[in-house]
A and B are shown apart, each in its own frame.
Chain A
Amino acid sequence: MNQKETVSYCLDALKKAGAEKAVCSLTNSEKKELNVEFGEMSLFRTTFDTSMGMSVIVDQKKGATSINKTDKDSIDTAVKLVMDMARGSQPDDAYDIAENQSPQTFSKGDESANQDKMYQSLEEFVDYVKSTYPQIQIEAATMDFNHSKSFFQNTNGVDFEVREGMYGFSPMFLSKDGKNTSSFNYTGVSALEIDKPLHKYGTIDSLLKQSVEQLQTQNIPEKFVGQILVTPDCLGDFLGFITGDISDGKMITGNSIYKNKLNKQITHPKLTFHSHPVSNEIADGYFVTSDGYIAENSTIVKNGILKTHLLGIYGANKLEKNRAVNDGGATIVEAGDNPHSDIIKNIEKGLLLARFSGGNPSSNGDISGVAKNSYYIENGEIKYPISETMISGNIQEMFNNIGEISSDRIDFGYCIFPWISFKGVTIS
């Protein structure tokens, strides 16, 4: 059986076993991965994997399983298991599967990677770091190419085929000079092709430069309440609170502070952001939602107003609200008016927050953590890199106290973020 026939066989087997509604997906993937450890190219990995997922609804009870085998015996065993699991569960009217849509095939990216070119790119990066920033030690760096082919079918007639090839690069590094050691820092980018030196992607080169500066840190002069300018590398930690809070888990439990805020103001009017999984602006988006709908682009917050929750089929049915047209992610934050260098000039006292090492925000949005790889700002100037400094605040309040959003933004391949300043944060 080829891949598509395997998925069809599985779906038929689930129906014959008594499934009233069923979903089956199959992904075959191949990854080539080059690894740098301690500044040396040291490991080359090629991995093959298969993921076969199936979920069923019987008597409005649901079960799900996944295996990584596609032989008939393995599928038949998994079909029996998932049917037993569903029958042993509890009914819920909110369970459902995606409605029928026209069969479609989606494709992007290279079919295969040139491992010589991958090696050359990574080797050039290692050489660039050694020659430009001799105090930097690359703790680890991974460059990979992941190619996958997926088939997705359900008993309502959904039939999608997706082929993707994506490059990824993620370096982790620190600086060391004698007994001075900087905090480590890291970043990651995705790209459909490698068409420039790796250090020119995302914020990589500026983070490398900052790492050397961070060999010498100081404590802040005193505890104070001030502004933080959150960098694009760090912004996802804060936006993630909003997107997590409007998704199924928090919404269904009732713990979301935005559960009754649709079409209401939830942030400062300066903020607009979108989820664009099928935009040409986002290399590493997706074509199909986890529920089996063709993904569409959407605006999540427009001028501070919440325009959609991010509910899947179950959450939407459970809460009698609209299903989102995508799974979130692929986030694009709209640019502001001034470059981040000008925003710094308007900060009387605060921090440039480049990495946040913090506890998960509490349900009400309270958050605290350590300002890593960050700088003290006073009278509109970056003064020095800091250590042993914590920030505390409430994310809901922070988004209502946005100072400025930068006009310059960073494209990481999977999101596009600016710098955003927040007022009224406790810094200690």
Chain B
Amino acid sequence: MKHESLNKYKDSFTHYTELRVQENRNNRVQLTNGDVTGNVATTESGVSARVFKDGNWGFSSNPNITDDSIVSVVKASTENVQFMNTKDSSRCGYFLPETKANYDIDLGTKKDRQNQKYWVDFIREVDAYIENKFPELLSRNLVLGGLDMEKSLYTSDGSESYSMTPRALFAMALSIEKDGAPVSIMNPWGGLGHLEDKIFQPSDYFSDIDALVEKLKQKADGVHANAGMKDVILDADLAGILAHEAIGHTTEADLVLGGSVAGDFLNQEVASPLITLIDYANTYDGETCPVPVYVDDEGTKSEDVTIIKDGVLKRFMHNKDSARHFETEPTGNARAFEFSDEPLIRMRNTAFVPGTSSLDDMIASIDDGYYLVKTGNGQADSTSEFMFAITMGYEIKNGKIGRAIKDTTISGIAFDVLKTVDMISSDMSWSSAGMCGKKQLIPVGMGGPAIKCKVNIGGR
């Protein structure tokens, strides 16, 4: 649904204006213990305009995409900013930094699209494998789906862009009964691209499923973590959520303006010199990131933001308004989830840069601690205190992996925790299934190597 020539509406602009036509398409097949419990497709599209004048913003959106409706949302958003200006003129004379970018990218599959029956049959074949091989499981919940975000943008600065960014997801949650109570584990696959480009044969997943069930059984026999401050190794699969939750949010410039503690630390040492943290716009080491952004929803060319360099806090992530406030350049982090959402400062692909240690050496260096390998939800705070759920982990005793642990949570003050980092592995793992919530949802990528640090772990 690429919308050509939004610039033909520029005559309806009277102030700084962003005009966006967007369509989100979601489809999902869900199988619960062999039954289809979800078979859903949704499409939401529409047009929105956002107008800036004298420090205020006006926004309006409409699901109809016609010449008349496009002109009407520009008019309504202009009237909205005028309403705000009549109430408060104290910021009269504020101007946003000008940016201009032109970029088209379509990351959709070039293959023929499969119909829903194909995917229902696919997921049933995977489920049949699990049911036959592991009849002892209490439940099997499999979800296969995708999200397409297709945006056309024109701004009064002259930026024009089009992007079609699909994401495929295949996830399963398995559970087993232990002492009369369920114990569960979940694993996602997928990433950037349509299902046709990411999900191939059912048999591709069989070995992963075998390993997942083995972990589930270990967890069922697991022990509670011993609550308190501990040495831990966050596996590479977990480092991304540390990057996102613990540091990333505190360095979004809107949260800095809102009082985040990171605002006090710019150009100060906030972490071990081993730590470098970057929010990648679209490319890492020559490869496309899980959530590539080339031009953001304010029409700014997206660039990498080096947040921490060798332990020193160097930069925040910006949109145009925060860049104006901090007298710097916007970084291309302004993104909106649906056509009816205004762009907010959002992370894109936030990752720690790998180090030089080996995971084996890291484990061997701990006498009494934990090796944490799977995570659930997480949350950050203005103080940089973070928490995230641990859904799979192991004790480390005398340098060796021990018993599995039950579900728990870890927390810490991020800028304190990062100062305790003394080993970082040389590998790199990207998570491609994350959705971040901050007024709106948005897909994000997270990544990193394994990290050894001290955190507070919940337990008994």
Contacts and interface: CB of A to CB of B under 8 A. Distances in A.
B258 A38 contact: yes
A363 interface: yes
B401 interface: no
Given A38-B257, A123-B87, A181 B383 contact: yes
Contact of B411 (A62, A176, A370): A370
A125 interface: no
Given A44-B83, A426-B459, 11 more contacts: A37-B254, A43-B58, A46-B60, A49-B340, A61-B36, A63-B116, A67-B43, A68-B44, A89-B117, A357-B381, A362-B183
Interface in B176-191: 181-184
Contacts of B139: 253-255
Nearest to A314: B37
Contacts of A298: none
B441 interface: no
Interface in A371-402: 372, 387-388, 390-392
A359 interface: yes
A69 B63 contact: yes
Interface stretch (B5-13, B157-165, B386-394, B422-430): B386-394
A48 interface: yes
Given A44-B84, A65-B40, A252-B33, A392 B254 contact: no
B116 A255 contact: no
Nearest to A176: B259
A85 B39 contact: yes
Given A41-B87, A88-B115, A89-B120, A368 B40 contact: no
Interface in B380-428: 381-383, 385, 387-391, 406-409, 411-413
B61 A181 contact: no
A46 B45 contact: no
A68 B46 contact: yes
13 contacts: A38-B257, A44-B56, A46-B60, A68-B44, A88-B120, A123-B87, A181-B261, A253-B138, A255-B182, A359-B388, A363-B175, A368-B227, A370-B387
A137 B458 contact: no
In this complex, which of A49, A139, A142, A181 has the most chain B Cβ atoms within 10 angstroms of its Cβ? A181
Nearest to A37: B254
A317 to B, nearest CB: 11
Contact of A362 (B117, B184, B228): B184
B88 interface: yes
Interface of A: 37-38, 40-50, 61-69, 78, 81-82, 84-90, 92, 94, 115, 119, 123, 137-140, 142, 174-176, 179, 181-184, 223, 252-255, 257, 314, 318, 357-360, 362-366, 368-370, 372, 387-388, 390-392, 426, 428
Interface string B366-388: 00000000001101011101011
B35 A392 contact: no
A390 B35 CA distance: 39
Interface in B76-92: 76, 80-81, 83-84, 87-88, 91
A426 B227 contact: yes
Given A183-B382, A428-B458, A359 B42 contact: no
Interface string B32-58: 110111011111111010000001111
Interface string B224-236: 1001100000000
Contacts of A42: 55-57, 84
Given A86-B39, A392-B460, A44 B80 contact: yes
Interface of B: 32-33, 35-37, 39-46, 48, 55-64, 76, 80-81, 83-84, 87-88, 91, 115-118, 120, 124, 138-139, 141, 175, 181-184, 224, 227-228, 254-255, 257-261, 264, 340, 342, 376-377, 379, 381-383, 385, 387-391, 406-409, 411-413, 439, 456-460
A46 B78 CA distance: 11
Contacts of A370: 385, 387, 409, 411
In this complex, which of B44, B228, B381 has the most chain A Cβ atoms within 10 angstroms of its Cβ? B381
Contacts of B381: 183-184, 357, 372
Contacts of B59: 43-47
A253 B407 contact: no
A359 B409 contact: yes
A390 B456 contact: yes
A277 to B, nearest CB: 24
A43 B259 contact: no
A252 B227 contact: no
A314 B60 CA distance: 38
Contacts of B457: 390
A49 B46 contact: yes
A44 B59 CA distance: 6
B406 A362 contact: yes
A272 B2 CA distance: 54
A139 B33 contact: no
B257 A46 contact: no
In this complex, which of B257, B259, B264, B407 has the most chain A Cβ atoms within 10 angstroms of its Cβ? B259
Contacts of A252: 32-33, 35, 37
B61 A48 contact: yes
B183 A62 contact: no
A44 B82 CA distance: 10
B389 to A, nearest CB: 3
A411 to B, nearest CB: 25
Name the 9 nearest CB pairs between A and B, nearest first: A359-B389, A88-B117, A368-B458, A139-B258, A364-B181, A362-B407, A253-B139, A363-B182, A428-B227
A47 B60 contact: yes
Contacts of B412: 388
Given A360-B389, A364-B182, A392-B408, A90 B227 contact: no
A390 B458 contact: yes
B63 A41 contact: no
B57 A46 contact: no
A390 B58 contact: no
Contacts of B43: 65-68, 78
Contacts of A84: 115-117
Contact of B184 (A92, A255, A357, A426): A255
Contacts of B456: 388, 390, 428
A365 B184 CA distance: 11
Given A43-B59, A183-B385, A392 B406 contact: no
A370 B406 CA distance: 17
Contacts of A123: 87
B257 A253 contact: no
Contacts of A67: 42-44
A174 B261 CA distance: 11
Contacts of B45: 68-69
Nearest to B63: A68
Contact of B33 (A62, A64, A138, A253): A253
B33 to A, nearest CB: 7
A86 B41 CA distance: 11
A61 B120 CA distance: 12
Nearest to B375: A359
A257 B182 contact: yes
Contacts of A369: 387, 409, 411, 458
Nearest to A95: B36
B319 to A, nearest CB: 11
Nearest to B460: A426
A45 B342 contact: yes
Given A88-B116, A119-B87, A360 B259 contact: no
Contacts of B91: 40
Contacts of B257: 37-38
